[in-house]
């Protein structure tokens, strides 16, 4: 292992900053933090660089005693591979029809491309990551949502045995959200929903959704209008009044599912900000939106 | 779970046969049995049927107290996907050149297609299987074999932590032999060699190579010339005199590596024979070739 | 250990039948199955043969991952020894008066003859059996039923520590139902009642009573009238209407006690049928009567 | 539990004596002490009283943190039962011929009479004792000594699993020395030899033989000539010169076997002296003979 | 270790007395017994002798399987050191004002003088004692009682982790009752109150207060008027009617706190009586006063 | 717990610096680091401030997964208290004569003043520290060095049981180096020597001596002449040639003792430099002198 150099800071500054982080490290020691990563955050011109930075942050969380669990999707990457293989997507009510060939491609892309990319990146920073499919053991058992959609599954049960074993070995579980019906058939599962369900089943302290927006905005054109913290009721009101709409609705709904499953707090953070996980967990700086169950 | 019916046998016959199998079950209780499956055995017109049958046998071994570990390759499937994606294989000295795109495709096919197919099949028979990549944790650390071959790796070290955790959970590890250099780069690893190394590192009782031939034949045109058992020295002599040649040489060499790593016996069995694993482990019938270290 | 041969079946048939049994093996994996054996089933011209066959079945159950616990009586054998020693049985209300000499003889016969016979037979099939007396540790603590009956005890408490230790060692507990009053005095305990109480205290999945009848018959002269399954209420009705009478009443009452103690199902099987345990547990064939708590 | 009264001593004297015993208790804390009890010590007019006293001492050893293991024979009791059943003993070279009926009777007497008598007595003093047969699990595996002697066995191997489980439960193992050939046949085993072998296999700190003599005497007519301590070589010399002869030879030979098996010291004590075990272990008083390996 | 001699008793008497103590040893096996020692009991002309005797009794309790926990104060010793250092005590409402210098001196005397004296004495009798401060880990977290009293603390929470670790190592915890506010400031805590709180938090079987009086007396001038046992209500009545007054009130109140915290019984014993702990725990002799929750 | 603020750095800088420290955190994860603190480092005008800073660094090491063990002396504080109590030090060959009163004072100062000061400071930073005396259990068993010196002890044996228990509870052991002779007598032990012996017995990765000099200097007047790293042989040569002399000799000798006891590396650092522990462990900056066994 080659050790980094800290030309940017004097040794004394390193010491000062490290002791500043002490209370944050103690606050989340041994806590499970589920991080939903992916899709848009993964795609783009500097995909590899973004994954490296994310992986390094995750390795740090593990090294200082937290138990991060990564859950990822990979929609854009699946679409790209479908195109490359000459397969044209179809949709019903805005949802992708997942026929036998599509689930095959999704499986290859998620398990064979996105997952090992994240696993390898985390491992390259001295941590131990282990890739897990929702089909492993009985992790994600699903039922079909709608026959017209084909192999799209809703989560019927979560068995966290394999995740706990990986955590107990001191490693980082990296989970691709392909589920199984128990009879050998794979189903695609929405990664946000899966992250919320897994966080609930694990008794996680936090679930963090890394997206490509700054968080919930009262005025989408004004980054300053960020909602730093909100309760269930406030979120419901914001949906009712149209402040939250479009693609943000499923994000906040996954957060609410996690809260309902007993996770104390759920975050929507901007995955494009470098070290956003560390900033959230190790500083008082307000980044993104935190949802909590009770009143603020 | 719906239970099968046994119309073929009277209840009493079922009882009689089960007690006949008692000494075999006891002999291998709690023993680790590494089974190399795949490549040619997987390919073909009734691939799905073959995997179902194999998976059911593996589920049975686990159910009666053995600890099977599946290691698989997938050469033909990689080639098929390369063709589909318009990528033409190149070779140096008969070995495939594995450039960046090829290792990407190999990863997708092994981790995203072959591995979950086996995992799902085993799970559909009531067992718990968990897919594992050689990149997980530090399972297979490799060094590059030859720069001209690209991302082809020789095994530098084996860390069995993740395999043991899966076994301790009562599940069946299913391992795809993509290794890592520890710096985030994936490498293709020969599955036979990997199976031998993993068997040695696990302290396995047996390693079994399922292939598409009956075993080692003294006369390749005569199935009756099957070598039922042979020692290191006898194998060396058969290679020297040309009795063993061609594609059988790497098979027997992997067996010898396993013996050298402390595995008591190594088998070459015909994966096309239905229930060949059960026949080998639960009857006195002579199938395939068994290699042992000492004198016969 | 010399391994058996299976001349009766082809190797392929062995494989086929074994995978047929897979769901049955999985269904009862790690479950405690209490088997009441003995008395009449033990006596007779081919006692040794019957015990060998029973022992082999028990060894198989253990080998495939179940946790069988054997409870036995030995009434006929006690009577035989009393006669041999010139001791004449006395009865009050149909129950044997158990004076000091009788309990001495019962102890010798159960602990010194019947119990080691079963233990040795199971051990001879490669399993580990351990003989246990209800007097060991505080397994069966009793109170005197009736001073006129002498040393006949009703179970006051069950301490399963020693049984669990034996099960955890991978062995088969074989229990003779002599209890103790905690002050050093031995008491005879009805073996059917003891089996039900032990099954309840252990949280067993099943209690099976092996007897010398086919099960509960609606018409005792017609084997075809076998009651395959019945609930508490149905059994009560059958006793009320006289369908169940005589020696069958205590059997079904022990079953009901076990159900009341939380054992999900209780069976009355014909111990004279070879492999009847395996037929019950590994086939769909209807043998004997199964009692369950709820409605059928 | 009703507590005793100590009218004989003032409360202060009780306190003084208890603290006197402190170093003795600490010296043997958690140590395994194998005590051979029986045969002649058991027989006689006040057998029950003797067993009660012995059992109470054993319960005390366990209560203060030692791990006593009782091994017993029962020769006189076997002979008595044989006579009662009209069976006449036969001898070859002074050793009893043990035919099928004799081993049956020995089994009944040892396992069904002597063993539960000791178990019950210990349990009546608030300890937990568990009766064990040498046939349980694979505790005493034997080979036939001489076909003319019938079912008389020499110990081939000792498997202490069941003893350790009982000790770990905080209970006292009470072992009857009937062994097994692994094929279901019982054999009688000399209890002195078995005690030595078991002590060695357990890594015991001491093995104590309770007999009906004061120990090794230089002059058998003079109790004052007691040999308090002796080494291997001194014992050999005393046998050679005839100081030790007759029935004492097998006793000292069992002691020597225990020393050879790694037991630090072996004692021959007079079981007729009340509390002789406590006197040996808790006072400096010289009772009986202690054999040690090295020089005195 | 040199072993004591028991010239006072014959070996047989030693045996008889030891077996008399058997039921007492069994009754409290593995039970936690909190013993408040100190203050006046420690002071005086033969302080060292008294500690030796106390330490030997504690070592015996541990040796026979109880789990004694010692809690001590040291008021007289603190006063003596204050005088030696020229510091004059001040009082408010009869309670000592504990300024910064006083808490410094108290810390030195309790942790640096009294505590190691007890620890060393117990260790000198072959046991393992470990000194613990209420400041260790988060054992005694306190809040300030009254600003006028300075660093006098009331217990806010008890964390028994460190005590359990010491007990699990087979050692005797010896606790000095200096607590902490969690921000680095030490506070003096009343040792009687602390003993009650610790006993409650540990789930102790008993808490015993060693003082310099015989117990609760109905008539303080008449030792014969000792109240052997009393309930909560009876104690309340005795306080109301003035039978209990003065310095005895805080003692009985600490007892009542312990009962309220779930400790089954609380004792006030005369620490000046040699072996008083052993007399209380190992004989039926009535010494001191036992308080129990329910009716007598 | 109130969380700090990091006004000095932007949130992004916090993230950058934390990931820089990742390889250092991983390198020493779960390693035992023994830190000798005290004496001169503790004394002085801003003693409290220095302890706070040291304590915070120690809390951080624990929080990120290392296992720091603090060993401290307190010579100057002992001298100060002796003076205050009117006790005049005496010396023999430059070593302090430690009579009964002196060891009493040393015990009070080390256990009752210095030790709880460090313990409380560490606890105030959210960690759990536990004060330990060398007299606890059998941690430091000593023999008298020289009767003329009185109660000055050389270490005879180290029993690390209590240290391991504290470490396993996730806490920081803080050890005062008063030892015991096993018969209740306390002895003063040199803290440097004790730190080396404890590090060896624990199998520590490092022992670090915090002093009031920059490390070993080739020219004591030139801080630039610091020896960054040296082997055993080089140190011996520097002592021979007089480069190392005076008070530095015992420091380097303690380092050499630690190396001999199997500790891979030993450091002499300047305890006056703020965060010197963090600078040493988390940056590449060269501070102090590192001694290693082999060649550089």
Q: How far is CA C248 from CA B103, C132, C191, C242, in A?
A: 71, 27, 15, 11
pLDDT reported for residue A41: 60
Highest mean pLDDT among E172-186, F41-55, F78-92: E172-186
Asked if residue A3 has pLDDT above 60, the reply is: no
pLDDT reported for residue B46: 75
All residues of chain B having their beta carbon less than 8 Å from the beta carbon of residue A184 are: 52, 120-121, 123-124
B139 compared with A294, residue with greater pLDDT: B139
All residues of chain F having their beta carbon less than 8 Å from the beta carbon of residue E123 are: 135, 137-138, 180, 182, 184
Nearest to F138 among E85, E113, E128 (CB): E128
The arithmetic mean of pLDDT across residues C125-147, rounded, is: 96
Classify residue A5: in a domain, yes or no. no
| C156: enclosing H helix or E strand | strand C153-158
pLDDT reported for residue D2: 36
Nearest to C6 among B2, B8, B283 (CB): B283
Same domain, D228 and D192: no
What are the pLDDT digits (tens) for C91-111?
Answer: 887 778 999 999 999 999 999
Q: How confident is the model at residue B89 (pLDDT cuts 50, 70, 90)?
A: confident
What are the pLDDT digits (tens) for C163-180?
Answer: 999 999 999 999 999 999
Nearest to F119 among E84, E116, E135 (CB): E135
All residues of chain A having their beta carbon less than 8 Å from the beta carbon of residue F30 are: none
Nearest to A137 among B128, B135, B137 (CB): B128
The arithmetic mean of pLDDT across residues F158-177, rounded, is: 98
Angle at C12 between CA C7 and CA C16, to 5 degrees: 110
Q: In this complex, is the C-beta atom of E131 within 8 Å of any C-beta atom belonging to chain F? A: yes
Q: In this complex, is the C-beta atom of A205 within 8 Å of any C-beta atom belonging to chain B? A: no
Q: In this complex, is the C-beta atom of D182 within 8 Å of any C-beta atom belonging to chain E? A: no
The arithmetic mean of pLDDT across residues E228-255, rounded, is: 91
pLDDT reported for residue E95: 78
Nearest to F113 among E107, E169, E185 (CB): E107
Asked if residue D91 has pLDDT above 50, the reply is: yes
Would you state the structure tokens that stand for residue D142, as one six-digit string? Answer: 């034997």
pLDDT reported for residue C3: 39
Same domain, D199 and D58: yes
Q: In this complex, is the C-beta atom of B128 within 8 Å of any C-beta atom belonging to chain A? A: yes
CB contact under 8 Å between F60 and A22, yes or no, is yes
Rounded Cα distance, D201 and D157, in Å: 9
Q: How confident is the model at residue F2 (pLDDT cuts 50, 70, 90)?
A: very low
Strands B129-133 and B172-176: parallel
Of D163, D182, D204, which closes a domain? D204
Q: Which chains touch D (3 or more CB pairs under 8 A)?
A: C, E
Q: In this complex, is the C-beta atom of B7 within 8 Å of any C-beta atom belonging to chain C? A: no
Asked if residue F5 has pLDDT above 60, the reply is: no
Classify residue C87: in a domain, yes or no. no
Interface test with D, best of C130, C140, C169 (most D CBs within 10 A): C130
CB contact under 8 Å between F169 and E165, yes or no, is yes
Q: Which chains touch C (3 or more CB pairs under 8 A)?
A: B, D
Same domain, D247 and D185: no
Of D204, D229, D254, which closes a domain? D204
What are the pLDDT digits (tens) for E227-238?
Answer: 999 999 999 999
**Among B87-101, D189-203, D254-268, the least confident range:** B87-101
Asked if residue B281 has pLDDT above 70, the reply is: yes
Classify residue E10: in a domain, yes or no. no
Q: How far is C195 from chain D (nearest CA, A)?
A: 19
Tell me which residue of F127, F122, F126 sits closest to F53, measured CA to CA. F122
Q: In this complex, is the C-beta atom of F136 within 8 Å of any C-beta atom belonging to chain E? A: yes
Q: What ipTM score was computed for the predicted complex, to two decimals? A: 0.93
Q: In this complex, is the C-beta atom of E15 within 8 Å of any C-beta atom belonging to chain D? A: yes
Same domain, D63 and D172: yes
Q: In this complex, is the C-beta atom of D30 within 8 Å of any C-beta atom belonging to chain E? A: no
Same domain, D62 and D193: yes
Same domain, F175 and F226: no
Nearest to D137 among C108, C109, C171 (CB): C171
Q: How far is CA E206 from CA A286, E72, E118, E251, E261, in A?
A: 53, 16, 21, 15, 11
CB-based burial label for E4 (10 Å; 0-12, 13-18, 19+): middle
Q: Which residues in chain A (206-225) have CB-CB distances under 8 A to chain F?
A: none
pLDDT reported for residue E40: 64
Q: How confident is the model at residue C296 (pLDDT cuts 50, 70, 90)?
A: very low
Domain count within chain C: 1
Asked if residue D43 has pLDDT above 60, the reply is: no
CB contact under 8 Å between D108 and C110, yes or no, is no
pLDDT reported for residue F49: 86
Tell me which residue of F117, F182, F184 sits closest to F156, measured CA to CA. F182
In the block, tokens 């803290």 appear at: F191
CB contact under 8 Å between D285 and E11, yes or no, is yes
What are the pLDDT digits (tens) for E84-120?
Answer: 999 988 888 777 899 999 999 999 999 999 999 999 9
Same domain, F96 and F154: yes
**In this structure, which long-range contacts are made by residues F139-145, counting pairs with CB atoms below 8 Å and at least 24 apart in sequence?**
F139/F163, F139/F175, F139/F179, F140/F177, F140/F178, F140/F179, F140/F180, F140/F189, F140/F194, F140/F197, F141/F179, F141/F180, F141/F181, F141/F182, F142/F179, F142/F180, F142/F181, F142/F187, F142/F189, F143/F181, F144/F181, F144/F187
3-state secondary structure of F91: strand
Rounded Cα distance, F273 and A126, in Å: 30
The parent domain of residue D113 ranges over 29-204
Q: How confident is the model at residue D40 (pLDDT cuts 50, 70, 90)?
A: low
Query: Around Cβ E186, how many Cβ atoms within 10 Å?
Result: 26
All residues of chain E having their beta carbon less than 8 Å from the beta carbon of residue F84 are: 85
Rounded Cα distance, C122 and C102, in Å: 29
Same domain, F162 and F250: no
CB contact under 8 Å between F285 and A15, yes or no, is no
Classify residue F239: in a domain, yes or no. yes
pLDDT reported for residue E185: 95
Q: Which chains touch E (3 or more CB pairs under 8 A)?
A: D, F
Mention every residue, 6+ apart, whose C-beta is less than 8 A from residue F83. none
**Among A102-111, B66-75, E241-250, F204-213, the least confident range:** E241-250
The arithmetic mean of pLDDT across residues C124-130, rounded, is: 97
In the block, tokens 């036992």 appear at: E290
Q: Closest-CA residue in chain C for B28? A: C63
Instruction: Indicate the average pLDDT of chain B.
Output: 91
CB contact under 8 Å between A185 and B120, yes or no, is yes
In percent, the amount of chain B with pLDDT more than 90 equals: 75
Mention every residue, 6+ apart, whose C-beta is less than 8 A from residue B14. B6, C17, C20, C21, C275, C278, C279, C282, C283
Q: In this complex, is the C-beta atom of C278 within 8 Å of any C-beta atom belonging to chain B? A: yes
The arithmetic mean of pLDDT across residues F37-56, rounded, is: 78
Query: Around Cβ E68, how many Cβ atoms within 10 Å?
Result: 28
Instruction: Indicate the average pLDDT of chain D.
Output: 91
Query: Around Cβ B39, how many Cβ atoms within 10 Å?
Result: 21
Q: How many CB pairs under 8 A join D and E?
A: 149
Asked if residue A166 has pLDDT above 80, the reply is: yes
Angle at B176 between CA B170 and CA B177, to 5 degrees: 125
Same domain, D41 and D134: yes
- Chains A and B touch, contact meaning at least 3 pairs of CB atoms under 8 angstroms apart: yes
All residues of chain F having their beta carbon less than 8 Å from the beta carbon of residue A59 are: 22, 26
Same domain, F105 and F230: no
Tell me which residue of A77, A60, A49 sits closest to A25, measured CA to CA. A60
B212 compared with A162, residue with greater pLDDT: A162
Asked if residue D226 has pLDDT above 50, the reply is: yes
Asked if residue F16 has pLDDT above 80, the reply is: yes
The arithmetic mean of pLDDT across residues B220-249, rounded, is: 90
Classify residue A75: in a domain, yes or no. yes
Same domain, D200 and D212: no
A52 compared with D2, residue with greater pLDDT: A52
What are the pLDDT digits (tens) for E1-30?
Answer: 333 444 678 888 888 889 999 999 999 999
CATH of the domain at D146: 3.40.1160.10
Asked if residue A77 has pLDDT above 70, the reply is: yes
Q: How confident is the model at residue E43 (pLDDT cuts 50, 70, 90)?
A: low
Tell me which residue of F289, F278, F279, F287 sits closest to F256, measured CA to CA. F289
CB contact under 8 Å between A165 and B161, yes or no, is no
Classify residue D100: in a domain, yes or no. yes
Q: Closest-CA residue in chain A for B122? A: A184
What CA dihedral angle connects E8, E14, E16 and E18, to 10 degrees? Answer: 130
Q: How confident is the model at residue E199 (pLDDT cuts 50, 70, 90)?
A: very high
Q: In this complex, is the C-beta atom of B276 within 8 Å of any C-beta atom belonging to chain A? A: no
The arithmetic mean of pLDDT across residues D29-37, rounded, is: 97
pLDDT reported for residue F296: 44
CB contact under 8 Å between F110 and E112, yes or no, is yes
What are the pLDDT digits (tens) for B51-74?
Answer: 999 999 999 999 999 999 999 999
Classify residue F196: in a domain, yes or no. yes
pLDDT reported for residue B33: 98
Q: Which chains touch A (3 or more CB pairs under 8 A)?
A: B, F
Q: In this complex, is the C-beta atom of C41 within 8 Å of any C-beta atom belonging to chain D? A: no
pLDDT reported for residue C11: 84
Nearest to F25 among A29, A63, A285 (CB): A63
Q: How confident is the model at residue B2 (pLDDT cuts 50, 70, 90)?
A: very low
pLDDT reported for residue D118: 96
Of D143, D171, D204, which closes a domain? D204
Classify residue E128: in a domain, yes or no. yes
Q: How many CB pairs under 8 A join A and F?
A: 150
Rounded Cα distance, C252 and C288, in Å: 12
Q: How far is D9 from chain C (nearest CA, A)?
A: 26
- Chains A and D touch, contact meaning at least 3 pairs of CB atoms under 8 angstroms apart: no
Same domain, F51 and F126: yes
pLDDT reported for residue F93: 76
pLDDT reported for residue E2: 36
Q: Closest-CA residue in chain C for D184? A: C120
Asked if residue C1 has pLDDT above 70, the reply is: no
Nearest to D128 among C104, C124, C138 (CB): C138
Q: How far is A53 from chain B (nearest CA, A)?
A: 13
CB contact under 8 Å between D29 and E1, yes or no, is no
In percent, the amount of chain D with pLDDT more than 70 equals: 94
pLDDT reported for residue A1: 32
Rounded Cα distance, D266 and D210, in Å: 11
Nearest to D138 among C121, C128, C178 (CB): C128
Tell me which residue of B65, F262, E185, F25 sits closest to A14, measured CA to CA. F25
3-class SS string, B171-196? CEEEEECEEECCCCCEEECCHHHHHH
pTM above 0.90, yes or no: yes
Q: Closest-CA residue in chain F for E141? A: F123
Tell me which residue of F130, F143, F131, F150 sits closest to F180, measured CA to CA. F143
Q: How far is B71 from chain A (nearest CA, A)?
A: 16
């Amino acid at each position: 292992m080659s050790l980094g150099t800290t030309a940017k800071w004097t040794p004394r500054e390193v010491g000062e900053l490290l002791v500043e982080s002490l209370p944050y490290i103690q606050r989340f020691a041994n806590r499970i933090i589920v991080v939903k990563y992916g899709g848009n955050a993964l795609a783009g011109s500097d995909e590899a660089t973004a994954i490296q930075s994310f992986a390094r942050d995750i390795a740090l969380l593990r090294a200082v005693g937290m138990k991060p669990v990564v859950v990822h999707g990979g929609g854009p990457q699946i679409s790209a591979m479908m195109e490359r293989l000459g397969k044209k997507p179809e949709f019903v009510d805005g949802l992708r029809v997942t026929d036998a060939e599509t689930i095959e491609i999704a499986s290859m892309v998620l398990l064979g491309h996105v997952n090992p990319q994240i696993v390898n990146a985390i491992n390259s920073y001295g941590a131990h990551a282990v890739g897990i499919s929702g089909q492993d053991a009985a992790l994600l058992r699903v039922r079909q949502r709608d026959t017209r959609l084909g192999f799209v599954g809703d989560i019927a049960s979560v068995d966290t045995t394999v995740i706990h074993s990986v955590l107990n070995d001191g490693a980082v579980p990296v989970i691709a959200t392909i589920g199984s019906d128990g009879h050998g058939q794979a189903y695609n599962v929405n990664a946000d929903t899966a992250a919320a369900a897994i966080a609930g089943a694990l008794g996680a302290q936090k679930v963090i959704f890394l997206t490509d927006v700054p968080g919930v905005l009262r005025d989408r054109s004004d980054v300053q209008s960020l909602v730093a913290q909100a309760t269930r009721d406030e979120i419901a009101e914001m949906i009712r009044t149209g402040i939250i709409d479009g693609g943000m609705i499923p994000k906040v709904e996954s957060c609410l599912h996690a809260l309902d499953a007993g996770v104390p707090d759920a975050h929507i953070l901007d995955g494009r900000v470098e070290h956003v996980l560390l900033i959230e967990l190790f500083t008082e700086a307000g980044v993104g939106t935190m949802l909590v169950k009770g009143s603020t």
